[in-house]
């Protein structure tokens, strides 16, 4: 079987982030299984060992896939094409599926938001982070007929959540759709060593008060500003610590990191707030997660419908406070850990209940780890994906 995967930004620095992590996990073992695999991407040095890469200048133009992409697909002459798609594909006249004569499976990794959900982030956020919101705003304005028409060209569509599948069906899409959630593996469940955990705790939290951890990108679009404000309210009545483990790809503090530091100072909690601007290894991230008492990921919206960070935190047996957006409720499945996006009051209440009660933190953390023990593995997701490809080869 010959498979071509079309995926923008497919390079090593992205492969721990969504949606590239999802695509990479699904396709990485295909060559070992005898599949002839080629990935077409738009980066010059993808550095992805074991995968045959073809680089084109650009994946999508204003009207759809570029000539370079279509020519590259034609040269490979695949049995099946797999294309990473997002909501902007619904507003372009052409898709990879409609522009080729090959069976095409679309991986729809991003959430399909309504206009009201986008506007709920607030005018300041729309101004501050409009480059990140533009794609979701465009998708929210796509009429149902456009979603139906563009989807009809695909042989099959994969979503990461049942929520996205439901939204596509609500738009009238009758193309076959399979919800294949991201998985975890045994590494995600393996806890770090006690000396490493103790070293992080001694460094960040020598007082031994309940420690709240946020990790991954510091964008305020992910709720970091709301988190600092909620923490300041909780801190008035309960001793606690907030640590932001900010994923850094480049040196120097970002605009958002400086902003949340300033917020902490303005709300008089600078002495109880630490920003750690490091791009840690997966093992290093797990050490910080295990050292924390509570993980807070209060996304206003998410770029991909399933944040892997939530699965990582739950795997370490931590209570996770997140938001009712995209597919997050499918992961968390516990109202005590879910709040409304950009809602300062509900976030404050959820954090307060966990900071003030050791027993509640323990019970929820054990429940989360138990849930992850039985959660889908990446091997299960790969098997579903491979079986789907074979239907069309």
Q: What is the pLDDT of residues 71-85, one digit of tens each?
A: 999 999 999 999 999
Element (H, E) at 344: helix 344-355
**DSSP letters spanning 1-27:** -EEEEE-TT-SGGGTTSTTHHHHHHHH
List the one residue out of 20, 22, 28 whose CA is nearest residue 184: 22
pLDDT the model gives residue 83: 98
What is the residue whose two structure tokens read 């699965």?
Answer: 311
Q: How far apart are CA 55 and CA 11, in angstroms?
A: 11
Which range among 37-46, 182-191, 339-348 shows the weakest confidence by mean pLDDT?
37-46
Task: Give the pLDDT confidence score for residue 49 in this predicted structure.
Answer: 65
Cβ-in-10-Å burial (0-12, 13-18, 19+) of 117 comes to middle
Predicted pLDDT at 50: 76
pLDDT band at 39 (very low <50, low <70, confident <90, very high): very high
With bands split at pLDDT 50, 70 and 90, how would you rate the model's confidence at 47?
low
Burial class (CB in 10 A: 0-12, 13-18, 19+), 392: middle
Domains and CATH numbers, the chain: 2-183+376-392 (3.40.50.2000), 186-373 (3.40.50.2000)
8 Å CB contact between 208 and 240: no
Q: Kindly write down the DSSP assignment for every residue of 30-55, as one continuous string.
A: TGGGT-EEEEEES-S----TTSEEEE
Asked which of 55-59, 62-66, 123-127, 245-249 is least confident by mean pLDDT, the reply is 245-249
Q: Give CA separation, 264 vs 218, 261, 269, 346, 381, in Å.
A: 14, 5, 5, 19, 41
Task: Answer yes or no: is pLDDT of 388 > 60.
Answer: yes
| Percentage, residues of the chain above pLDDT 70 | 97
CB 171 within 8 A of CB 141: no
Whether the CB-CB separation of 182 and 22 falls below 8 Å is answered with: yes
| pLDDT 10s digits, 113-171 | 999 999 999 988 988 888 889 888 988 999 999 999 999 999 999 999 999 999 999 99
pLDDT of 13 above 60: yes
Mean pLDDT on 260-287:
93
Q: Is the pLDDT of residue 210 over 60?
A: yes
Contacts of 286 (CB under 8 A, 6+ apart): 190, 191, 192, 312, 316
Structural contact between residues 272 and 234, judged by C-beta atoms closer than 8 angstroms: no
Q: How would you class 252 by CB atoms within 10 Å of its CB: exposed for 0-12, middle for 13-18, buried for 19 or more?
A: exposed
* Predicted pLDDT at 153: 97
- Predicted confidence (pLDDT) per residue in 244-254, tens digit: 998 755 555 68
pLDDT given for residue 46 in this prediction: 62
**Which pLDDT value is given to residue 179?**
97
Mean per-residue pLDDT over the chain, rounded: 93
According to the model, what pLDDT value does residue 248 have?
58
Give the per-residue pLDDT at 363. Answer: 97
* pLDDT for the residue 227: 98
């Amino acid at each position: 079987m010959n498979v071509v995967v079309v995926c923008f930004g497919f390079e090593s620095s992205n492969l721990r982030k969504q949606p590239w992590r999802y695509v990479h996990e699904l396709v990485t073992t295909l060559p070992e299984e005898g599949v002839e695999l080629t990935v077409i991407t738009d980066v010059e040095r993808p550095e992805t060992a074991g995968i045959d890469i073809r680089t084109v200048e650009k994946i999508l133009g204003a009207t759809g896939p570029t000539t370079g992409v279509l020519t590259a697909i034609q040269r490979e002459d695949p049995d099946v094409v797999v294309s990473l798609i997002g909501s902007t594909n619904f507003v372009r006249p052409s898709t990879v599926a409609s522009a080729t004569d090959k069976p095409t499976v679309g991986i729809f990794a991003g959430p399909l938001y309504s206009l009201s959900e986008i506007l709920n982030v607030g005018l300041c956020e729309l101004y501050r982070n409009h480059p990140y919101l533009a794609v979701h705003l465009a998708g929210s304005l796509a009429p149902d007929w456009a979603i139906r028409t563009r989807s009809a060209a695909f042989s099959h569509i994969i979503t990461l959540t049942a929520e996205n599948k439901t939204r596509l069906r609500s738009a009238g899409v009758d193309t076959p759709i399979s919800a294949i959630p991201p998985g975890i593996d045994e590494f995600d469940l393996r806890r770090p060593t006690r000396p490493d955990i103790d070293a992080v705790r001694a460094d960040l939290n020598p007082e031994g008060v309940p420690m709240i951890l946020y990790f991954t990108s510091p964008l305020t679009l992910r709720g970091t500003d709301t988190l600092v404000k909620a923490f300041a309210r909780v801190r008035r009545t309960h001793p606690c610590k907030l640590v932001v483990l900010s994923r850094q790809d480049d040196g120097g503090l970002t605009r958002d990191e400086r902003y949340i530091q300033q917020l902490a100072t303005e709300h008089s909690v600078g002495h109880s707030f630490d920003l750690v601007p490091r791009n840690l290894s997966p093992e290093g991230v797990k050490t910080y997660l295990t050292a924390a008492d509570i993980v807070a990921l209060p996304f206003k919206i998410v770029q991909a419908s399933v944040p892997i960070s939530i699965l990582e935190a739950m795997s370490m047996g931590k209570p996770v406070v997140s938001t009712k957006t995209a597919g997050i409720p499918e992961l968390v499945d516990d109202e005590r850990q879910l709040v409304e996006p950009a809602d300062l009051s509900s976030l404050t209440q959820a954090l307060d209940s966990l900071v003030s009660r050791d027993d509640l933190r323990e019970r929820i953390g054990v429940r989360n780890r138990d849930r992850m023990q039985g959660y889908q593995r990446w091997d299960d997701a790969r098997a579903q994906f491979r079986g789907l490809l074979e239907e069309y080869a």
